[in-house]
């Protein structure tokens, strides 16, 4: 590895980053302009309720919305729509915000591996098809990714400089990320522990500054929930339902029936959280292994919300040829990035910075394994895969313990193949090469 500090930033590389960033913005805006006519479906319609509910409450947080989901994305939607008055304006704003992930990934890769990795990682983020598709739709991931990865970048900078101000800024960004997707609340302490265990004296103080800033941001919304609902709800109530749904061992419809039998949002949240914990305890000691078996393939699946959109007929009736083309555009980059990242992980020598990235990756994936997996849920950690895949240009073959590396590559590749196998069979059905799966309930685009 060849970690590079912020001071070593040649003008040629700065120009290259600016060009990649501009191209990434252009790709996102072009897709918004050229995307076939579509309409919001599934959870998009839920997010877009913010356009009426939040302005109807005069943007006051002391209303009944939002509580099921974290507040930042609904308020972003409502505020942007109130200022510009159109869904197109929201999409353009999302494209611009989503493009901020490009320099964030660049800077993280630069600190962890080096300049060539940073440029290639920026290219991966700029042109990764799913990251271009999401800003044209209404999901919180676009906003969440940019905030989260700038938080990670600032945490790395705080580690490098021992700056309390930088650590506090990282904590503020982590807090905003939590208010966009609550998942990160349970992972952010990893960054603080990582800072705390560093050698120089100021780094424990930096860790405390990061935690304090995160707490200040999140606690403001926790206090709102206490005032509004009279209960301790750290961010939102949806996590309780997800915990129970992922562990109950019954169908989604049955889970929702039980959930909505309870009167009141707080009561539903408290019941679902306790029911989920009881379900986990009941399934011990095999619970973790069962969840890896069940949810791991869903997180790694050869599928995408973009393809599900096609299968849902959110676009006008797609042709089989169009679906196959879209599948190739979306899935081949994921396959390439995943395999490249595994090869890089097998070659890399590990230090504090690679440990942070891999620790966040493992903890995030395990958290979703504990609830439930879906291709959309891997998106926040896709930059880890991209950075490691890009690092192949800075990692010399055979570096590290030569004897163990081929075994590591073989083990990781075999594990990934096992994770991909169920969705590969399903996708072959969607593509018309096998009988189509019936679990979605959609008419097949490509009849087998």
| Per-residue pLDDT tens digits for 193-213 | 898 886 555 668 889 999 999
Report the alpha-carbon distance of residue 159 to residue 369 in Å, rounded: 30
CB of 97 closer than 8 Å to CB of 76: no
Q: b/e per residue, 368-391, with b = 16+ CB within 10 A? A: bbbbbbbbbbbbbbbbbbbbbbbb
Instruction: Report if pTM > 0.75.
Output: yes
pLDDT band at 386 (very low <50, low <70, confident <90, very high): very high
Domain residue ranges of the chain, discontinuous segments joined by +:
11-236+285-430
Task: Label residue 398 by pLDDT band (50, 70, 90).
Answer: very low
- What is the reported pLDDT for 396? 60
Q: Using one digit for the tens of pLDDT, what is the confidence trace for 182-191? A: 999 988 888 8
Residue 99 pLDDT grade (very low, low, confident, very high; cuts 50, 70, 90):
very high
Q: Which long-range contacts (CB under 8 A, 24 or more apart) does 159-165 make?
A: 159/194, 159/195, 159/198, 159/203, 159/206, 159/352, 159/353, 160/5, 160/6, 160/111, 162/200, 162/202, 162/203, 162/206, 163/206, 164/202, 164/205, 164/206, 164/209
Nearest residue to 375 (alpha-carbon basis) of 418, 331, 413: 331
On the question of pLDDT at 350 being above 90, the answer is: no
Segments in 263-381 forming alpha helices (H): 265-282, 287-300, 305-311, 320-347, 352-370
- Give the mean model confidence (pLDDT) for residues 364-387: 94
Residue 416 half-sphere exposure toward CB, CA atoms < 13 A? 17
- Do the beta carbons of residue 144 and residue 96 sit within 8 Å? no
Q: How confident is the model at residue 432 (pLDDT cuts 50, 70, 90)?
A: very high
CA distance 134 to 75: 18
Average pLDDT over residues 398-409: 57
Residue 199: what pLDDT?
56
Q: Above 70 in pLDDT, residue 70? A: yes
Give the highest mean pLDDT range of 169-173, 249-253, 286-290. 169-173
pLDDT at 400 (0 to 100): 44
Q: What is the pLDDT of residue 354?
A: 93
Distance of alpha carbon 40 from alpha carbon 91, whole angstroms: 12
Question: Hey, what are 113's tokens?
Answer: 């591996």
**Mean pLDDT estimate for the chain:** 91
Output the pLDDT for position 262. Answer: 87
Given this model, what pLDDT does residue 7 score? 45
d(CA 122, CA 128): 10
């Amino acid at each position: 590895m060849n970690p590079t500090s912020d001071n070593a930033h040649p003008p040629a590389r700065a120009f290259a980053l600016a060009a990649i960033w501009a191209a990434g913005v252009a790709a996102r805006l072009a897709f918004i302009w050229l995307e076939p006519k579509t309409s919001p479906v599934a959870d998009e319609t839920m997010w877009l309720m913010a356009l009426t509910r939040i302005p109807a409450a005069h943007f006051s947080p002391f209303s009944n919305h939002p509580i099921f989901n974290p507040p930042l994305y609904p308020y972003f939607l409502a505020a942007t729509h109130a200022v510009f008055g159109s869904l197109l304006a929201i999409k353009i704003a999302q494209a611009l915000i989503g493009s901020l992930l490009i320099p964030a990934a660049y800077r993280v890769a630069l600190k962890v591996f080096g300049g060539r990795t940073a440029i290639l990682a920026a290219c991966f983020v700029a042109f990764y098809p799913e990251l271009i598709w999401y800003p044209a739709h209404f999901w919180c991931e676009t906003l969440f990714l940019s905030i989260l990865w700038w938080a990670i970048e600032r945490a790395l900078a705080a580690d490098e400089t021992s700056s309390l101000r930088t650590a506090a800024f990282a904590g503020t960004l982590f807090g905003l990320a939590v208010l966009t997707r609550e998942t990160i609340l349970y992972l952010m302490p990893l960054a603080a522990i990582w800072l705390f265990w560093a050698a120089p004296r100021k780094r424990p103080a930096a860790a405390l500054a990061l935690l304090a800033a995160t707490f200040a941001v999140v606690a403001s919304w926790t206090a709102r929930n206490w005032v509004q609902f009279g209960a301790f709800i750290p961010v939102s109530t949806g996590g309780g339902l997800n915990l129970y749904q992922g562990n109950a061992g019954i169908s989604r419809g049955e889970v929702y029936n039980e959930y909505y039998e309870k009167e009141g949002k707080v009561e539903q949240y408290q019941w679902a959280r306790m029911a989920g914990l009881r379900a986990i305890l009941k399934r011990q000691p095999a619970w973790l292994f069962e969840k890896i078996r069940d949810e791991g393939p869903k997180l790694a699946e050869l599928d995408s919300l973009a393809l599900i959109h096609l299968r849902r007929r959110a676009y006008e009736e797609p042709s089989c040829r169009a679906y196959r083309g879209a599948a190739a555009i979306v899935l081949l980059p994921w396959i390439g990035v995943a395999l490249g990242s595994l090869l890089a992980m097998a070659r890399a020598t590990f230090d504090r910075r690679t440990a942070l990235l891999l620790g966040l990756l493992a903890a995030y994936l395990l958290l979703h394994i504990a609830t439930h997996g879906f291709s959309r849920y891997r998106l926040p950690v896709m930059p880890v895969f991209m950075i490691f895949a890009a690092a192949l240009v800075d990692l010399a073959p055979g570096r590290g313990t030569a004897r163990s590396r081929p075994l590591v590559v073989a083990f990781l590749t075999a594990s990934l193949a096992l994770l991909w196998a169920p969705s590969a069979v399903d996708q072959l059905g969607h593509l018309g090469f096998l009988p189509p799966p019936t679990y979605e309930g959609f008419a097949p685009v490509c009849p087998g």
